[in-house]
């Protein structure tokens, strides 16, 4: 039963565009009515109709500790009693910066912002200023927030210069955005041959989470690193999802590739709004007020967000849960694979650590185009089947599923049992 969610969604549409404050929440890709959530605890979310769900969305990644972790709640309650924003420096900003630098050594200096979008936008401004070049390279299917000139996927690889995905973005704004297919090393080499001296930076999700999970093929990240170095362009890793998710040091620690600038968000705020960009000192020194590149924010370094972030990172450091998360997620995915085979369903699962996507296509998904070949109707059927059984997966084929430290062995077994029934019926 989701009567109250249905009612609220209908009413919300009169007041909020599409009834939601971020589009994918509206269930547009899978149909049906979004759940209106009233609370969350551990691996579960609870809706306004009193239903409970095991949550594999985790607020799109941030909640790696599960919801309402007691230590996070405790620091937030204490923090709130001392004021929620000062617009002046605090020692927590310093502490969080130190922790970020400790975990991600490529970051020598870091600036806190309020979202992942702000982080990527600011990082690119900085890269352009540092290199005194305008062009940037982004990969098809990578999402870096809703920055005008990054809202470009370019429908076909033949289109080198991107065209905007959204009305309201003038074509002139995207004329410096070059698009390359993810994992296509030769394409990138040719792109640099032609435009290399004008390219300020390459921005990439080192493991893509936004066309569903797509892993970099062997040598791909190294190639980007080498070619950017050769042409004196900067390499920006967008680790908004992968930062503190794949390891304490993010994807760069796992793949041993060192970017010039890293963008962070999501887990960094422990569920509160935050983002960050940081990198080599000589680059970061160009940011205002130590340098001329302007960037600011009323709520940047917010005392609640920083304290939730500090506590989250400390817990991750204490627990070092990455092996556990990896094993737990591997077990779930192995069983899902077994069931997909058992019922003869064409699908492939991409997984790394605690993030994965079931693509309903038999071919290996290695880039945006192969991701787009998956059967979205089948994903919707899977999604709704699981939802009915109290398992909340992302309401779109092209998103990642996440596990947290709060997901128990029973939660996983329960999910496998339900997946057996749902996949049988597909
Ligand atoms: N970069 C990546 C890789 C993301 O996944 C997202 C959001 O999903 C962003 C940037 C934008 O972050 P935010 O939604 O906090 O603006």
Q: Is 145 in the pocket of ligand 1 (CB under 6 A)?
A: yes
At residue 158 the predicted structure's pLDDT band, cuts being 50, 70 and 90, is: very low
pLDDT of residue 157: 37
Mean local confidence (pLDDT), 210-220: 96
Task: Catalogue the E-assigned strands of 244-361.
Answer: 261-264, 275-279, 348-352, 355-359
Q: What is the pTM for the complete model shown?
A: 0.97
Please work out, in degrees rounded to the nearest 5, the angle formed at the alpha carbon of residue 146 by the alpha carbons of 143 and 152: 60
User: Which is it for the CA torsion 18, 141, 191, 236, positive or negative?
Assistant: positive
Higher-pLDDT residue of 247 and 161 is 247
What are 345-389's pLDDT values in tens digits?
999 999 999 999 999 999 999 999 999 999 999 999 999 999 999
- pLDDT at 241 > cutoff 70: yes
Is residue 231 within 8 A of residue 206, CB to CB? The reply is no
Catalytic residue list contains 411: no
Atom of ligand 1 minimally distant from the CA of 22: 14
Q: Is 220 in the pocket of ligand 1 (CB under 6 A)?
A: no
Distance CA 202, CA 261 (A): 10
Task: Catalogue the E-assigned strands of 61-152.
Answer: 109-113, 135-139
- CB atoms inside a 10 Å sphere around CB 59: 15
Q: Is 60 in the pocket of ligand 1 (CB under 6 A)?
A: yes
Q: Rounded to the nearest whole angstrom, what is the distance from the C-alpha of residue 144 to the centroid of ligand 1?
A: 5
Which of these, 104, 133, 284, lies nearest to 201 by C-alpha position? 133
Q: Rounded to the nearest whole angstrom, what is the distance from the C-alpha of residue 145 to the centroid of ligand 1?
A: 5
Is residue 180 within 8 A of residue 137, CB to CB? The reply is yes
- pLDDT at 159 > cutoff 80: no
Q: Is 209 in the pocket of ligand 1 (CB under 6 A)?
A: yes
What are 116-134's pLDDT values in tens digits?
999 999 999 999 999 999 9
Q: Tell which one of 113, 114, 117, 236 to mutate to probe ligand 1, the residue whose CB is within 8 A of the most ligand atoms.
A: 117
Catalytic: which of 266, 367, 375, 392? 266
Q: Rounded to the nearest whole angstrom, what is the distance from the C-alpha of residue 142 to the centroid of ligand 1?
A: 10
**CA separation, residue 58 to residues 240, 304, 330, 392 (Å):** 14, 20, 18, 9
- pLDDT at 154 > cutoff 60: no
Catalytic residue list contains 41: no
Q: Rounded to the nearest whole angstrom, what is the distance from the C-alpha of residue 155 to the centroid of ligand 1?
A: 21
Q: Is 183 in the pocket of ligand 1 (CB under 6 A)?
A: no
Mean local confidence (pLDDT), 268-274: 97
Catalytic: which of 238, 260, 367, 411? 238
Q: What DSSP letter does each residue of 217-231 carry, written as one string?
A: PTTHHHHHHHHHHHT
Catalytic residue list contains 266: yes
Catalytic: which of 143, 176, 277, 368? 143
């Amino acid at each position: 039963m989701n009567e109250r969610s249905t009612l609220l969604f209908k009413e919300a549409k009169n007041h909020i565009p599409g009834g939601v404050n971020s589009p994918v929440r509206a269930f547009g890709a899978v149909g049906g009515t979004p759940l209106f959530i009233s609370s969350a605890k551990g691996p579960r979310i609870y809706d306004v109709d009193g239903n409970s769900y095991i949550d594999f969305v985790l607020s799109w990644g941030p909640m790696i500790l599960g919801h309402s972790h007691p230590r996070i709640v405790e620091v937030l309650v204490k923090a709130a009693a001392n004021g929620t924003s000062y617009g002046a420096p605090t020692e927590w900003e310093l502490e969080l910066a130190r922790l970020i630098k400790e975990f991600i050594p490529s970051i020598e200096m870091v600036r806190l912002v309020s979202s992942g979008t702000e982080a990527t936008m600011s990082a690119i401004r900085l890269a352009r200023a540092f290199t005194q070049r305008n062009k940037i390279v982004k990969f098809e299917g990578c999402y870096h927030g809703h920055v005008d000139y990054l809202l470009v996927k370019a429908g076909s690889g033949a289109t080198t210069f991107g065209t905007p995905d959204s009305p309201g973005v003038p074509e002139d704004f995207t004329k410096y955005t070059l698009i390359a297919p993810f994992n296509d090393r030769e394409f990138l080499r040719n792109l640099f041959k032609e435009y290399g001296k004008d390219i300020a930076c390459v921005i990439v999700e080192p493991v893509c989470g936004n066309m569903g999970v797509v892993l970099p093929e062997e040598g791909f990240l190294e190639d980007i690193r080498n070619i950017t170095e050769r042409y004196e362009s900067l390499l920006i890793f967008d680790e908004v999802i992968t930062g503190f998710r794949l390891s304490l040091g993010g994807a760069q620690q796992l793949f041993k590739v060192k970017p010039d600038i890293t963008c962070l968000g999501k887990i960094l705020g422990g569920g509160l709004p935050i983002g960050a960009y940081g990198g080599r000192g000589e680059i970061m020194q160009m940011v205002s007020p130590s340098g001329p590149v302007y960037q600011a924010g009323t709520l940047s370094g917010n005392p609640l967000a920083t304290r939730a972030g500090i506590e989250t990172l400390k817990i991750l450091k204490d627990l070092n849960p990455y092996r556990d998360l990896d094993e737990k997620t591997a077990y779930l995915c192995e069983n899902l694979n077994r069931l997909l085979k058992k019922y003869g369903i064409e699908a492939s699962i991409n997984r790394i650590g605690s993030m994965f996507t079931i693509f309903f296509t038999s071919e290996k998904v290695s880039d945006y185009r192969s991701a787009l070949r998956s059967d979205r109707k089948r994903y919707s059927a899977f999604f709704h089947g699981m939802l009915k059984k109290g398992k909340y997966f992302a309401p779109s084929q092209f998103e990642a599923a996440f596990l947290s430290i709060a997901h128990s062995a029973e939660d996983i077994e329960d999910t496998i049992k339900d997946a057996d029934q749902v996949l049988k019926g597909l």
